Structures are given as structure tokens and as C-alpha cells.
């Protein structure tokens, strides 16, 4: 018996296939049994790791080979019954949970109607982050929602550089009443709004107290938050978690440089991040170069890169 098992193990190690080895082993066991060999206590295979057809190391099989072979012998079941299922699994497309996911948000929408409509026309659930009190905010929010695109408020927040942030902005000098009033006005500036992310905000997002105020309101309205991560000191995601607000953080900015080489480099970077983490969040802006790039790259994304474009809501439960 020991010899028979070793022969089968050798065949498996030579890559002839688990199934073939299993069938041979079973045939040999049957022959062995018909010859009424005395049963052996334990096969040496039980202590080995094995090499599968793809070269991966398989775990040791906790099996005792006896003769006659019990019907429920795990080795025989695995070799003969499960092998076709494994084969089928290898041929089937990967389960949805295993396909790397990419979510894209385009910020700073609302000033330019045509650019906004080009974002809405992009394939897949690309989110529009619309600035409050901009001329085309309401029209684009409605068009985007009708097209099934996620719609977010792109909320202006104070930055370290002192750059103008536009109407509806929040800053670190505001006391709670003024902060709340400004926030509610921005949240009411257009509809529908499903979530919020920050425009700039390298100063305000580091202010934990005001992030707590923000998240308290978003929690009441059942809105999600995407931390654009404009500073490494951001407290936004921590505040969101503390208030039970669903959130996720930006991984890569697509278009800090707007030429094809840099766009492609950042895009490759976010795809690599998605493959490594399982998912990633990309933020871009409605520049003509960015829109041309996405119009070219998104239709082929899953077929060419094996990464699936998903809505940002899909990634909200992701650990920060």
C-alpha cells in the first residue's frame, strides 16, 4: 500500500494532474483490496505537502489509508469527486468579490455644463462631486441622477495655502452655529445628494472638532463621506467612523499633471493599488485632458486591465 501511494504521489508531483493520480490511486487501492492486503496504519502521504497542477503547495491531507477504503475517505473524495469542481472553478470567471474594484469621482463639477455632461456620459458609475452655488449644479445633479451616476456635494473647506475656496466654504474660525448654518445651506444647495467630499480642506480636515460637527450632520442626513485626503493630518475619516458615517478615502489623484504620460502613470498606480488592496478610489477633475483620457481608458477597463469600475458607495464599508 505504501508503495502504491508513493507512486500516485510521484505522478501528482510530475504534474500529471490530481484527477489522474486520484483515479490511478483508487484503481490501485481497489487492486490492493482485491488482493486482500493487510491494512496499513498510515500512509506517508499524510505527512507531506503536495504540489498541485498549478505548482502551488497544497496542505497535507490528514488521511489514514486503510483497506478496504472507506467511502468517506477524504483523500479519495478530494481526488475523484472534487477535482472536476476545481477544474470548473478554474475555468469559470473569478467571483465578483475577487475582481479588483475601482471607484472614480470627478470633483469641481458645476461651473461648466458641457464638461459636466461629458462626465455623465462616461461609462459606468463615475461619481460627480458638484460644488454648491455653481451655475449648473442643480441641472447637472438631476441629469447625473437620471443617468444612474452617484451625486455628491463637493464641499469647499479651508486650505493651508489660504486659497479662495468659493461660496459655501467652511473654515476653522467658524463657531458651531455659523458652521452648521453654512453646512446646511450647502447641503440644501441642490438635490439629490448622496454623499459629500471635501474641496481643498488641508486646514479644516485636520480640525477634529469641526470634523465631528460635520459628521454629526452627515449622519443625520444619512450621507456618506469621501475623504479627499488633501493633508496627511486629516481627521475626517476618524470623525466619520466615530459618528457612524459610512466613509472611504481617496487613494490617488489622477490629474495633478495633465499630460497623457502622467495621466497614464497615475492611472496605472491606482489600478495597481486596486489589485493590491482589492479596491481603490481615484479622484479627477473635469479638465479636457482628463476627460479625453477617461473616455479612452474606461470602456476597455475590465477587459484590458481586469479591474471593475464600481460606484463609490460599493466601497464605503472598506476598512480605512
Residues engaged in binding Zn ion (CB under 5 A): 107-108, 199
CB of 107 to Zn ion, least distance (A): 4
Do strands 50-51 and 57-58 pair parallel, antiparallel, or not at all (unpaired)? Answer: antiparallel
Nearer to Zn ion, 134 or 194 (CB): 134
CB of 108 to Zn ion, least distance (A): 4
Cis peptide upstream of residue 192 (ω within 30 degrees of 0): yes
CB of 154 to Zn ion, least distance (A): 6
Report the distance separating Cα 214 and Cα 202, nearest Å: 15
Query: If 0-12 CB within 10 Å is exposed, 13-18 middle and 19+ buried, where does residue 216 land?
Result: middle
Nearer to Zn ion, 75 or 263 (CB): 263
Nearer to Zn ion, 14 or 135 (CB): 135
Q: How far is CA 155 from CA 119, 180, 214, 223, 252, in A?
A: 19, 13, 11, 13, 19
Nearer to Zn ion, 199 or 203 (CB): 199
CA-based angle 129:131:135, to the nearest 5?
Answer: 120
CB of 229 to Zn ion, least distance (A): 12
CB of 252 to Zn ion, least distance (A): 15
Report the distance separating Cα 274 and Cα 281, nearest Å: 8
Half-sphere exposure of 166 (CA within 13 A, CB side): 19
Nearer to Zn ion, 101 or 199 (CB): 199
Helices and strands (H and E) in the chain: how many: 11, 11
Nearer to Zn ion, 83 or 107 (CB): 107
Query: If 0-12 CB within 10 Å is exposed, 13-18 middle and 19+ buried, where does residue 238 land?
Result: middle
Query: Which residue is nearest to Zn ion, using beta carbons?
Result: 199
CB of 294 to Zn ion, least distance (A): 17
Amino acid at each position: 500500500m505504501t508503495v502504491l501511494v508513493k507512486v500516485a504521489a510521484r505522478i501528482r508531483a510530475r504534474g500529471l494532474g490530481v484527477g489522474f493520480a486520484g483515479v490511478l490511486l483508487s484503481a490501485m487501492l481497489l487492486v490492493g483490496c482485491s488482493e486482500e492486503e493487510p491494512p496499513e496504519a498510515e500512509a506517508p502521504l499524510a505527512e507531506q505537502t503536495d504540489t498541485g497542477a498549478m505548482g502551488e503547495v497544497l496542505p497535507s491531507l490528514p488521511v489514514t489509508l486503510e483497506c478496504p477504503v472507506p467511502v468517506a475517505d477524504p483523500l479519495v473524495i478530494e481526488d475523484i469527486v472534487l477535482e472536476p469542481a476545481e477544474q470548473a472553478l478554474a475555468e469559470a470567471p473569478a467571483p465578483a468579490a475577487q475582481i479588483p474594484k475601482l471607484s472614480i469621482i470627478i470633483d469641481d463639477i458645476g461651473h461648466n455644463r458641457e464638461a459636466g455632461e461629458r462626465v455623465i456620459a462616461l461609462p459606468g458609475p463615475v461619481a460627480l462631486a458638484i460644488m454648491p452655488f455653481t451655475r449648473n449644479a442643480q441641472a447637472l445633479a438631476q441629469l447625473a441622477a437620471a443617468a444612474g451616476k452617484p451625486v455628491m456635494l463637493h464641499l469647499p473647506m479651508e486650505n493651508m495655502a489660504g486659497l479662495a475656496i468659493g461660496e459655501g466654504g467652511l473654515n476653522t474660525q467658524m463657531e458651531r452655529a455659523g458652521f452648521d448654518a453654512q453646512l446646511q445651506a450647502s447641503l440644501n444647495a441642490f438635490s439629490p445628494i448622496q454623499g459629500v467630499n471635501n474641496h481643498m480642506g488641508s486646514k479644516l480636515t485636520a480640525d477634529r472638532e469641526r470634523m465631528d460637527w460635520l459628521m454629526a450632520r452627515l449622519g443625520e442626513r444619512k450621507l456618506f463621506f469621501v475623504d479627499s485626503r488633501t493633508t496627511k493630518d486629516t481627521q475626517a475619516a476618524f470623525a466619520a467612523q466615530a459618528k457612524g458615517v459610512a466613509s472611504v478615502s481617496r487613494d490617488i489623484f489622477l490629474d495633478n499633471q495633465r499630460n497623457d504620460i502622467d495621466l497614464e502613470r497615475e492611472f496605472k498606480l491606482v489600478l495597481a493599488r486596486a489589485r493590491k488592496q482589492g479596491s481603490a478610489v481615484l479622484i479627477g477633475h473635469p479638465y479636457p485632458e482628463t476627460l479625453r483620457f477617461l473616455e479612452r481608458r474606461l470602456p476597455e477597463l475590465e477587459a484590458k486591465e481586469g479591474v471593475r469600475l464600481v460606484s463609490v458607495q460599493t466601497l464605503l464599508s472598506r476598512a480605512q
